[in-house]
């Protein structure tokens, strides 16, 4: 099922049922009015929004933003093959396990990061959380909160670019998936000019926010569920 281009106000919808953490398109071009970009750097809006006054508590199996993309990776993303040196494994029980929150805004509206990214043939998801899949990668999403799980055999840095390669969507200084225009990035609420954007590290516990076009009134700050905190 594909969703329309109309974007509604982003919301956080929580599911009260406690869920134990497993161990581990409407695709087309979209012209977006965007802030001016500085050469060689990610764009930073002239009116830089402040971080959310009150951090938002995330709940496992919740929903953050407006659903925009289908579950899982695209046909050009991870389909069981090796991606950036990562293999698709039937199960994960790795010693280095941490989490990052990713937010995507287009003209002030927050879009949901889909569940099942970094999973080959993800199943279920009716409860808002994917437990079962044919295989999965060290970097993946279980639900629609924007929480990225990183489970690795060794403590090594991974990047946002690898997540997008697994997803099969482009990420550059002028594009996020099908949306085009200068991209601004915020890390833990502060604007950053790191370039290329794909090199942003997936640092444990960090909030990463990508913005195209008119920025939101606030750059959200999130609190990971207690079981996922560093």
The residue among 171 and 26 whose pLDDT is bigger is 171
pLDDT in tens, 148-207: 999 998 888 899 999 999 999 999 999 999 999 999 999 999 999 999 999 999 999 999
- CB count, 10 Å around CB of 218? 14
Residues 52-67: what's their mean pLDDT?
94
For residue 181, what are its two tokens? 């225009």
Using CA atoms, how far apart are residues 227 and 89, in angstroms rounded to an integer? 23
The residue among 76 and 36 whose pLDDT is bigger is 76
The pTM of this model reads: 0.80
Using CA atoms, how far apart are residues 160 and 219, in angstroms rounded to an integer? 18
pLDDT in tens, 92-131: 877 899 999 999 999 999 999 999 999 999 987 889 999 9
Using CA atoms, how far apart are residues 48 and 209, in angstroms rounded to an integer? 13
Pick from 52, 49, 68, 66: which is nearest to 184 by CA? 49
For residue 18, what are its two tokens? 């406690």
């Amino acid at each position: 099922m594909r969703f329309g281009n109309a974007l509604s106000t982003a919301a956080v919808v929580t599911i009260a049922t406690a869920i134990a953490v497993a161990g581990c398109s409407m695709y087309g071009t979209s012209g977006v009015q965007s802030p001016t970009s500085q050469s060689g750097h990610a764009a930073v809006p002239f009116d830089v929004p402040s971080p959310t006054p009150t951090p938002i508590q995330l709940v496992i199996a919740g929903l953050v933003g407006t659903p925009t993309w289908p579950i899982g990776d695209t046909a050009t993303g991870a389909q069981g093959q090796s991606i950036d040196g990562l293999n698709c494994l039937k199960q994960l029980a790795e010693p280095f396990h941490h989490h990052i929150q990713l937010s995507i805004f287009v003209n002030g509206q927050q879009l949901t990061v889909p569940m099942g990214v970094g999973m080959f043939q993800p199943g279920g998801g009716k409860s808002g959380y994917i437990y079962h899949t044919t295989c999965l990668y060290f970097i993946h999403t279980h639900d629609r909160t924007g929480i990225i799980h990183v489970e690795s055999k060794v403590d090594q840095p991974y990047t946002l670019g690898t997540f997008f390669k697994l997803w099969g969507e482009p990420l550059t200084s002028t594009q996020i998936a099908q949306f085009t225009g200068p991209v601004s990035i915020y890390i833990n609420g502060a604007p950053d000019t790191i370039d290329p954007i794909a090199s942003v590290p997936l640092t444990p516990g960090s909030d990463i926010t990508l913005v195209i076009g008119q920025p939101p009134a606030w750059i959200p700050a999130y609190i990971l569920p207690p079981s996922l905190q560093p």
